Amino acid sequence: MKKLQTLLLSFILTFIAIGAQAQAKKETTQTVEIKTSAVCGMCKKTLEKAMAYEKGVKSSSLNVESKVLTVVFDSRKTDAANIRSAVNKTGYDADKQPADARAYNRLDECCKKEAGSH
């Protein structure tokens, strides 16, 4: 019985620890999903590279098929709005925010919206 008690206690403690850790992590590491106007594999490279140079961004990944860019960032250093505007400045729409016109112009023809997904 004592054994079981110890086991239960250690289980509870472990869960609390994990929970606390998760809580702590949640405070700084956040994930945002942004629907973009990316159309191809080259866009993926361009966007992920641009994200890599953004302050506070830990990792990013674009799903070309769904056009959703998933960005993991440190909320102490940046926020979702910043990241969306960084996407705009790379030449892509971010959710409802349209791309910066000049940056869009700079994109390779195959990366422009008109080219269609391919």
Partner 1 sequence: MLKYLSEHKVLALFISTLLLSSASLLQAQHLTGKVVDKANPSQPLVGANVIWLQTDKGTATDASGKFTLSLSDAAKPVVLVTYVGYTPDTISVAGRSDITVALEAAKGMTEVVIEGEKERHSALTPTQTQFITTSDLEKSACCNLAESFETNAAVEVSTTDAVSGAKQIQMLGLDGSYTLLTTDNIPALRGLATPYRLNYLSGTFIESIDIIKGMGSVLNGYESISGQVNVTLRDPEKAQRLYMNLYGNSLGRYDANLNLAGSLNKKWSTILMLHTDQLQHRSDRNHDGFMDLATGSQYNVYNKWKYVSGDWVAEFGLTALQEQKVGGQLDFDENTPKEEQPHYGIKSDVDRLAGHTKTSYTFAGKPYQSIGLITSATHHKFTSQYGLRDYDGEQNSANARLIFQSIIGDTRHTYKTGLSYTFEDYSENLNDSLFNRREIVPGVFGEYIYSNTHNLTVVAGARLDFHNLYGTQFTPRLNVKYDISPRSILRFATGTGFRVSNIIAENTATLVSSRRFVVEEDLEAEKAWNIGGSFTHYFEVAGRPGTFVTDFYHTSFINQVVADMYTMPGSVLFYNLGGRSYANSFQAELQYEVLRGLTAKAAYKYYDVKTSYKDKLWQKPMIPEHRFFVNIGFATPFEKWRADLTTQFFGLMPLATMQEDHNQPLEHKANSDRFATVNTQVTRAFKRWEVYLGAENLLNYRQPNPIYGANEPFNAGFDASMVWGPVTGRVLYAGLRFKLD
Enumerate binding residues for partner 1 (CB under 8 A): 42, 45, 48-49, 52-55, 89, 101-103, 105-109, 114-118
Q: According to DSSP H, which parts of the chain are helical?
A: 2-28, 41-52, 80-89, 101-106
**Least distance between partner 1 and beta carbon 12 (Å):** 28
Q: Provide, rounded to whole angstroms, the least separation between the CB of residue 10 and partner 1.
A: 29
* Residue with Cβ nearer partner 1 (33 or 108): 108
Residue environment code for 67-90, b if the CB has 16+ CB neighbours within 10 A, otherwise e: bebebebeeeebebebbbebbbeb
Toward partner 1, which CB reaches closer, 42 or 80? 42
Nearer Cβ to partner 1 (27/108):
108
On the 0-12 / 13-18 / 19+ scale of CB atoms within 10 A, 100 is: middle
CB of 6 to partner 1, least distance (A): 32
Pick the closer one to partner 1 by CB: 5 or 53. Answer: 53
Number of residues written out for the chain: 118
